């Protein structure tokens, strides 16, 4: 029986990221297990109907993976993003001495934009994984239809031929997602990195939007030692510097797993 993961509850970004990554890694592993069944069936039984049946189960696994990504992405944008946006907004209220935070239309619109972007990013990342699995499915199905009937004829080289076919298909096992640029990334890694990035962006958006609303023009940057403004290698170091709210909104983070945050500085004159 499939394990039912508990619903995502908003909270610490690291905890949430690990949870989302674990769910998607589990879904991808189930797909990899179905792939292994297809490969084993070629060696063990050599009958086309049986091999095709296992291939259809693998194809169903691709749909299951897509559904799991979709469910997790929706849960994340509906629960975690509003929570973090509000946390960032509340921090800015305290730092800027502004009035109480409320979900006015500008904040609701900002959150909707963040949610759409985050949801789309999750789906784009998962599509690379699904395309890879679909390619393997088509290649395995074509090979099964062409070669498995010959194996079932029972000639003297059938066992070795079956092993060769299985080895050829196993060489494309789903241990990593291979992106178009050639990068090999485990599902857990991209899921965790994407979740942390979107969490940081949501928190910082809440901070910056409240600062702008309160008429604060500058924020102080809190970041890792040595982290650059536009990328980790940028010589323009970020932490401890003052940036305009607009500049900060352009670079809420600078790299995956970035820990950047902002503190409103109402004591610094607004450049406007």
Residue 183 predicted with pLDDT over 90: no
Residue 4 predicted with pLDDT over 70: no
d(CA 95, CA 109): 23
pLDDT number for residue 1: 34
High-pLDDT (> 70) share of the chain, %: 91
pLDDT tens string 212-251? 999 999 999 999 999 999 998 999 999 999 999 999 999 9
Q: 256: helix, coil or strand?
A: coil
pLDDT number for residue 165: 82
Residue 271 predicted with pLDDT over 80: no
d(CA 127, CA 133): 10
Would you place residue 153 in the very low, low, confident or very high pLDDT band (cuts 50, 70, 90)? Answer: low
As a whole number, mean pLDDT of residues 39-60 equals 84
Please, which residues have CB within 8 angstroms of residue 207's CB and are 6 or more apart in sequence?
88, 89, 91, 92, 219, 261, 262, 263, 264
DSSP code for 182: S
The CA–CA distances, whole Å, from 50 to 8, 64, 135, 157 equal 38, 21, 20, 21
As a whole number, mean pLDDT of residues 98-109 equals 92
pLDDT number for residue 142: 87
Of 37-51, 54-68, 87-101, 183-197, the poorest mean pLDDT is in 37-51
Residue 201 predicted with pLDDT over 50: yes
Residue 3 predicted with pLDDT over 70: no
- What mean pLDDT value characterizes the chain? 88
The CA–CA distances, whole Å, from 156 to 4, 151, 159, 162 equal 47, 10, 8, 11
């Amino acid at each position: 029986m499939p394990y039912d993961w508990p619903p995502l509850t908003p909270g610490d970004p690291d905890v949430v990221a690990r949870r989302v990554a674990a769910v998607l890694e589990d879904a991808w592993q189930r797909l990899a297990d179905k792939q292994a069944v297809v490969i084993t069936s070629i060696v063990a039984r050599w009958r086309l109907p049986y091999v095709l049946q296992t291939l259809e189960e693998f194809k169903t696994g691709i749909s299951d993976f897509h559904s799991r990504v979709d469910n997790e992405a929706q849960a994340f944008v509906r629960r975690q993003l509003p929570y973090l946006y509000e946390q960032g907004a509340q921090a800015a209220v305290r730092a800027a001495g502004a009035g109480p935070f409320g979900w006015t239309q500008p904040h609701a619109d900002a959150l909707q934009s963040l949610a759409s972007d985050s949801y789309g990013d999750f789906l784009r990342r998962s599509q690379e994984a699904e395309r890879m699995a679909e390619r393997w499915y088509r290649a395995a199905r074509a090979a099964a239809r062409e070669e498995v009937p010959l194996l079932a004829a029972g000639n003297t080289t059938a066992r070795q031929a079956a092993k060769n076919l299985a080895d050829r298909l196993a060489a494309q096992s789903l241990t990593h997602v291979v992106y178009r640029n050639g990068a090999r990334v485990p599902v857990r890694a991209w899921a965790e990195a994407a979740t942390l990035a979107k969490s940081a962006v949501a928190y910082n958006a809440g901070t910056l939007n409240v600062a702008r609303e309160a008429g604060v023009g500058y924020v102080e940057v809190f970041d890792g030692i040595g982290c650059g403004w536009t990328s980790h290698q940028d010589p323009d170091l970020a932490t401890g510097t003052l940036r305009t709210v607009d500049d900060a909104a352009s670079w809420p983070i600078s790299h995956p797993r970035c820990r950047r945050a902002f503190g409103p500085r109402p004591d610094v004159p607004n450049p406007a």
